Each structure stands twice: as structure tokens, then as C-alpha cells.
Chain A
Amino acid sequence: MIETVASAALAVNENLNIRKRRIQNGKSKNRLSLVTGTHGDELEGQYLAYMVGKYVDEHIDQFDGILDIYPALNPMGIDSITRGIPMFDLDMNRVFPGTKDGTMIEVMCSSIIDDLSGSDVCIDVHSSNIFLREIPQIRMSVPTAPTLLLYAKMMNVDFVWIHDAATVLESTLAHTLNSRGTKTLVVEMGVGMRITKEYCQQLFDGVLNLMKEIGMWQGETAPVREPVVSEGYEVGFVNSDAAGIFVPVADFGDTVKKGDHIGDVVDPLTSKIVEKVLAVCDGMIFTMREYPVVYGGSLLARILMTSGGEGQ
């Protein structure tokens, strides 16, 4: 059943509609919400939503509960390849919880929260941006980790990043739902504007496994991997200090030592290497620059520092 969660009239002969599909079977009232498309340039979740919905449809007799799929919280953004909300230049994930008497976007965010609240688990799928490629991971803040880590481990991700809480992140969908008692996992995987089928398959296996663990799925599931769990201090950031074109020599997923050569920033005009990029710590590269043009400060890589390794 397809429902409209929020709707508002646009200026010329059109409504902005945020829709979800509800799949329901059996007696259980357990509810899993799969939500994605908050940023219009993140598309990995589109394919995951398709895969999960299709598989559950085809094996509905093995499903017991309620699955709500929200593929596009920011449909105009996806339609126009715009990360934020078109016309407003606003990051939708800084507008939650919204308000009922606010502006169009605030009202819509408020309706989304009302609709999602009460889910047993919510999975909020992101896919980095066009600049970076991410290994499948779940991110959570330190205060939410005691509640969420158990569920994150069911999700077949490679990595769980537990980071410090930041006030600015209180305007996110996940913070709002978690603070209201709806357990919400934030997934990051892949790269903006693209679909990485193997990551979607990996997360698909994770979603099925989570559904099984919370009693919503009686069918087959694939074995899930044990993620590496990290505290914030265990991640090394490699930022460019020069401007130019980044050409990696290390691969995504490589294990490196501090000082290892992981790429170069080159100048196409002078044909010079303007920066030799080195690993800042021992560990595994879990984030890698995808878009080559860089300024000083552009993030080139994140390295998950392995225990006992040498860091900066």
C-alpha cells in the first residue's frame, strides 16, 4: 500500500509528495522503517529500497510484521541532482524535527517524524556525497551507542563508527528519532550519484538479518560479518594541503602503515607533483576521495586506525 506521508502545493500545477510503501503480513506489529533519499545526490539507498521491497514481496509468506519503505524524503532533490532542497539551498538533514506551524519544509519534516516515530527500528541510508567513497558502515554518537550497537552489528556492515555528539547534529532525522525513543541506525556506503551493487547486496543481507533478529523474518538469511567498532579517536583524517588533481596510488580497503604513499596531488598545468600524500596512521582506508579536483582541506581519505598501530 502506497501512502502519502506529507504533501504541499508547489507554485505551478504540482504538489510535492513524500511517499512510503507499507508491506504488512502476519500478526506481528513489529515495524521496520527503511528511509533514504534525504540528500538528492545519494542514490545507493534507492537500489537497496528496491531490493528489499521486491524480495519481501516475493517471499511475503516468510514475513511477519510491518515494513515501511520511504525511498525519497527529498524527491525534488533526487529529481534535480541537488543535495539539498531545491529553491531553498537547505540541507534537509538540518531541519528536523521541523514544526507543524513552520515553513513548507519544516511542516514536511514534522510529518515525516510523526510517521516514523514508533518504528521498532529505523534504518536511515546515506551514501556519502559525490566526492568520497565509503565502505559500508553505520555511524552513531557516543550517547546512543549503548542502545544502537546491538542492532548495528546485525546489519552486515564492515565498520561501526561511534563519534562524539555534536550540537549541530541535533537537527538530523536520526538524532530526532533516537531522542524520541525510535532506534535509528545511520548507514553510509558507496558514493554519491552512483549505485554500488555489491554494497547494496551487503546491506540487503543485513536488513534481512536484522528483520530475523527482531522476529519479522522467517526465511533464509546469509551469514553476516562482524564489524570493526571504532571510537572517534581511532580514525585518521587525510586532508589535502595543496590544490590540484588527486591521483590515488593506494586502493580503497587497503591496509597501510603511517607514512605510506597513498596518492599524489598533481598540477596539470606545470606537470609537477604538488603534494605527496602519506598515510597519517596505521590502519585500513575506509573512505577514499572519488572526485579528483581538490583544494587545500579537501578530504582525501579516512583511515581506521588498527589497535596498537602508530597514529599521529
Chain B
Amino acid sequence: MKKKVLFSMKSPYREQLDIIGCRFGHGRKALAIVGAMRGNEVQQMYVCSRMVQELKKLEAKGRIAEDCEILVIPCVNYYSMNIGKRFWAMDNTDINRMFPGYDQGETTQRIADGIFTKIKDYDYGIQLASFYQQGNFLPHVKVMDTGFTDSELMKDFGLEFGIVRKPRPYDTTTLNYNWQIWETKAFSVYANATDEIDEKAADEAVNAILRFMDKRGIISAKTPPGYVTVIMNESDTRQVQSEAAGIFVSLTDIGKTVERGDILGRITAPFDGELVSEIRSPVSGTVYFEYHSPLINAKTVCFKIIK
């Protein structure tokens, strides 16, 4: 493994920001993996650190394919991580809304450009992604439907579900979208948690990425058998929203199979504890997202069900 500073930026009051990449193997740019771009994406950084450990072992055993180079960037935005902020500490902009970046532009555009110029020529790209709301996801893989990435490739991860998302206008400045515009086959892997470490989900994400690399001929590795991935459009999943506000208690778990009408959660009044809403599943299926916070507003997505 070779550690290299991919991009640096001076700060008026802190040590210089050095974005570190860990390179394995030599030759063709086969796969780039990007972890935390936001300050709360601790699980995403952790999964990358686990990948570095695995790749070190594989490299030592000569299991990285000839003419293949792998790059892992565990954390882009550790400045925000160190002070407990989600977005760029100075101006609250989101680096993952600045791609492909601009080297003469604003600070986070320059950071995005500094990273993107180093990762845009890889055959495959994997981003460890998070969701803007507090909650837990069943580990899954997602592609944005730009017409470039073949969604069938998601099966190589062996996760239970692969989801195809139709991009919205605000997606056009994300890393995943721009990777595809520059002809990198890009995937987002969701490893359940964000600002806390979920060891089981991290195991699953690491094995999924190793499985993908093995299937694509980038490494030779033995991994536990995966799922036969079910691929679906995001619009075919069912969002369940809270009809009331108050104190939220989930009565289910991610990964659980539920029947239409099953109770998924309860909302009680915050002052007197009266039940104000029972949240029932509108369809039969598998719970793949669960809201995770004691307080809930009305019309908040509290569960997502794969039918």
C-alpha cells in the first residue's frame, strides 16, 4: 500500500487539510472507493478503514490482479468531523453537491475538483453513502440511472437489494452522477449507520465490496456467499410517512418481513403520553429503512418498504 496526499488546502487557523488516498496494486485504474465526504459519516470512513485492512492482506498475498490499481479515500472532510459538523466547517456547503468541482472556484468546489481529477479515470467507483435523515438502512447498493452504468452489475455485490434511482436535478452535482458522466461505472453502497459504527453492517459492506472486486476480476478473494440481489426501481419501494408528530417508537427492525396492516411504530403525545398514531405497513414486504430518533414531525418518512 502507498499512502499519498491527493489534495491539500491551507487553513488560516488549523493544520493543513490533507486528503489521503491509499493505493494498492499497479497499472490500470480499476476501482476507486470514497468514504466520508460529510463530517458525520463515521460509518462510511470506518468501512473504508476496514477495506484498507483487507486490501493490505490481499496485496501481501499477491491476490490483487495484474495491471489493476485500487484507490481508497477513507475521509475527504475530516475538518468537519473533528468539530462535529456535517458540512464544510466554514460555509456549511456540501462537498457532495460540488462535483465535478472547479479548480478556480469556491473552496468546496476546489476540494471536489482536487478529488475528482484523481478519481475520474477509474473503471469502477464506489461511494459509501449516507441519507440526510436520521435512520438506519438495510445494507444495499444503488445506482443512478444515467444510462451509463449497467444496473445488473449491482448483483456482483451480493447484497439483498440493488436499487435504481432516477436522478433529480439536485443529484447532478453529486460524485456518483458525475462519475458516470465521466464514464466510471459508479455505485453507492449504504452500510446502515452514519454517525455511529454498526459492526455487522460494516462487515456486510466490506464483504459486498470484496465480492464485487472478485467478480470483476480486480482481486481474488474468498467471501461469504451473498444474496441473489433483487434489483428494483426506487419508485417501486413504498415510503411510509408519519401522520402525526410526537414521540416515535419503532416496533420493527430493518430487514424484517412485514405484512400489509402490521404495526410498524407508534407515536405518542409528548406531554401526556396518549397514543396519537399507529403506523401500519401499507404493503407486504421487507423493511429497508427505519427512522431513528425519539422525536418525529408530521409527514416524516419513518419507514421504507421493499414490496
Contact = CB atoms under 8 A, between A and B. Distances in A.
Instruction: Report if A and B associate in a common complex.
Output: yes
A297 interface: yes
Contacts of B273: none
Interface string B115-144: 000000000000000001100000000000
5 contacts: A11-B247, A88-B132, A237-B105, A242-B10, A268-B12
Interface of B: 9-12, 86-87, 90-92, 97, 104-110, 132-133, 168-170, 172-173, 241, 244-247, 270-271, 295-301
Given A9-B297, A83-B92, A167-B169, A297 B246 contact: no
A107 interface: yes
Given A89-B87, A296-B10, A168 B107 contact: no
Nearest to B10: A243
Contacts, number: 97
A244 B12 CA distance: 5
B169 A171 contact: yes
Interface in A75-96: 83-84, 87-90, 94
Nearest to B244: A9
Contact of B299 (A8, A90, A237, A298): A8
Interface string A224-247: 000000000000010100111100
Contacts of A16: 297
Contacts of A103: 241, 299-301
A171 B168 contact: yes
Contacts of A298: 90, 106-107
A76 B31 CA distance: 43
A10 B298 CA distance: 6
Contacts of B168: 171
Contacts of A88: 132-133
B194 to A, nearest CB: 12
Most chain A beta carbons < 10 A, residue from B105, B168, B245, B301? B245
Contacts of A169: 169
A170 interface: yes
